Amino acid sequence: MSDLDTVFNESWPEDHRSGVVAVVGRPNVGKSTLINRILGQKIAIVTPKPQTTRRQQLGIYTEEHGQILFTDTPGLHKPHHKLGQYMVTMAENALQDADLILWVLDVSVEPQEGDKHIAATVARLQGDTPVLLALNKADLADRKTLQAHAEAYQTLIPNVGAMLLSALTGDGVDALVKDILSRLPLGPRYYPADQVSEVNMRFIAAEVIREKIILNTEEEIPYSVAVEVDEFKERSADMTYISATIYVERDTQKGIIIGKGGDMIKRIGSEARAELAGMLGTQVYLDLHVKVLKNWRSDDDLMRRLGYRLPKKEN
């Protein structure tokens, strides 16, 4: 039986609500952390570095009376290369296709220039789509500070709902989900109740490896790296073989990823293997390679090769 058959054989109440929620915000405000918290499992990588999320990812939350399709979009920012342009285009498309825009903000700090840029982008693209502010990181400031910052954020887009919460601790997240559902239109269940994402394990494996690279390296390395899974095979009931290639833009970056005596690539592999084993419930044999693709972030053909779905060139 296919997933589609499963959906149509399920029943849901007449007051069932469903829709697409575009999760936007400047880099590093906690968008991926929030989605992972709501879903109860990790589908998006999380690091302290900006622009960690590069592609639009779908997270599926289902309860008896509703289904929310969260699109975790790349952080809206001013792009400096083709990869940045791709990321911004994905985020802007998500705004236009959504039933609700969930703008995640870091309420522990005052509005930044990036927030003003996003406010202008949302105002330009939202049309009739409602907006809800998720004032995240409420655990990092006192009540007086939170109130002042919340009021400042609400002036960026007036007359919209706002919720204080902490994606890290979970405080306020249940109330946020309830509020989101109340704002969605009546509609059917689009995915089986037990499905939480549309991405496959090959994609997740590549993202986990990239996460460990970001967490273990500094300066330009996190932004120059792409990961491609070349082989993903269940060799037995308790062993999964994964072969992946890490691409960088310069030979010096390759040397940093490998490290002295191979110590960095070993650390990245060890951390990625441990997390993937927990996800898969098997032992993992992880085979990593590092190659140079010069200036791949500014080359349309190389970006398409690495899975970034750019519009095809016209002849």
Interval 125-150: pLDDT, tens: 888 999 999 999 999 999 999 999 99
How far lies 44's CA from each of 136, 155, 245, in Å? 17, 30, 20
> May I ask the CATH architecture of the domain 201-305?
2-Layer Sandwich (3.30)
Band of residue 313 on the pLDDT scale cut at 50, 70, 90 = low
Checking if the pLDDT of 307 tops 80, the result is no
How do the domains of the chain map onto residue ranges?
A: 13-183, 201-305
Checking if the pLDDT of 315 tops 50, the result is no
Q: CB of 104 within 8 A of CB of 23?
A: yes
Q: CB of 71 within 8 A of CB of 56?
A: yes
Question: What is the average per-residue pLDDT within 244-260?
Answer: 94
Report which of residues 84 and 34 the model is more confident about: 34
Question: What is the average per-residue pLDDT within 20-34?
Answer: 88
What phi, psi does 154 have (nearest 5°)?
-70, -20
- Lowest average pLDDT, out of 28-37, 90-99, 265-274, 306-315, goes to 306-315
- Lowest average pLDDT, out of 46-60, 97-111, 156-170, 179-193, goes to 46-60
Judged on CB neighbours under 10 Å (0-12, 13-18, 19+), 261 is: exposed
- Lowest average pLDDT, out of 6-10, 69-73, 177-181, 208-212, goes to 6-10
pLDDT value, residue 4? 47
Band of residue 93 on the pLDDT scale cut at 50, 70, 90 = confident
pLDDT value, residue 199? 72
CA-based nearest residue to 177, from 68, 60, 43: 68
Question: What is the average per-residue pLDDT within 38-50?
Answer: 67
Full-model pTM: 0.67
Q: Do domains 13-183 and 201-305 have the same CATH topology?
A: no
pLDDT value, residue 131? 95
Checking if the pLDDT of 92 tops 80, the result is no
Question: What is the average per-residue pLDDT within 216-238?
Answer: 86
d(CA 298, CA 137): 34
- Lowest average pLDDT, out of 37-41, 198-202, 224-228, goes to 198-202
CA-based nearest residue to 176, from 148, 135, 130: 135
Q: CB of 53 within 8 A of CB of 44?
A: yes
Band of residue 105 on the pLDDT scale cut at 50, 70, 90 = very high
pLDDT value, residue 6? 45
CA 130, chain centre distance (Å): 21
pLDDT value, residue 218? 81
* Percentage with pLDDT > 70 across the chain: 85
pLDDT value, residue 233? 93
Checking if the pLDDT of 234 tops 50, the result is yes
pLDDT tens string 65-78? 999 999 877 655 56
Residues 6+ apart with CB under 8 A from 177: 38, 61, 68
CATH class of the domain comprising 13-183? alpha beta
